[in-house]
Structure 1
């Protein structure tokens, strides 16, 4: 198993303006200064201060998912489904890990 990286990945996704209740108004947020954002955040521990100059950040373009039809052994599918919701995501993560390992070694 490969060691986990200590860097942070930020995925670049197009963000649509969401202003309904409970959603972030990104136009309003984008117009605010850093000082205004800090003042609104206050002492909320859920939003710690981040020193972006010190952060190890890697911007990653999102990978577009494609629907495919694949035949897998029933016990393999049962194994992943038994672990709960998100079995397709887990299968994708394992395949990605294998792919990245092969790209590094070969």
Structure 2
């Protein structure tokens, strides 16, 4: 059996003070949004929801975009 040679296995550096000084905390999850969304509860007619859901994936995003356009143009 071959003797362990750290020069050959340099992909596993020693965890000394110099190595630890270069470490950065990892970020987990999604980055913070500049415009976070707010969760709300709204009651809509069953036929309206059925129609919206029937438009396929992303229907909530599309509804949000449409409402945003209505607000921006002063229609709502």
TM-score, normalisation: structure 2: 0.51
Q: Is 2:67 aligned against 1:95?
A: yes
Larger relative CO (CA 8 A, sep 6+): 1 or 2? Answer: 1
Q: Secondary structure at the match of 2:73?
A: helix
Q: After TM superposition, which residue ranges in structure 1, 4 or more long, deviate above 4 angstroms?
A: none
State the partner residue of 2:42.
70
**RMSD value over aligned CA atoms?**
2.4
Structure 2 alignment gaps of length 5 or more: 1-25
Whole-angstrom CA distance in 2 between matches of 1:85 and 1:95: 18
Which structure has the greater CA radius of gyration?
2
Query: 53, 58, 65: which is aligned to 1:86?
Result: 58
- TM-score, reference length from structure 1: 0.38
User: Is the contact between residue 80 and residue 90 of structure 1 (CA under 8 Å) also seen in structure 2?
Assistant: no
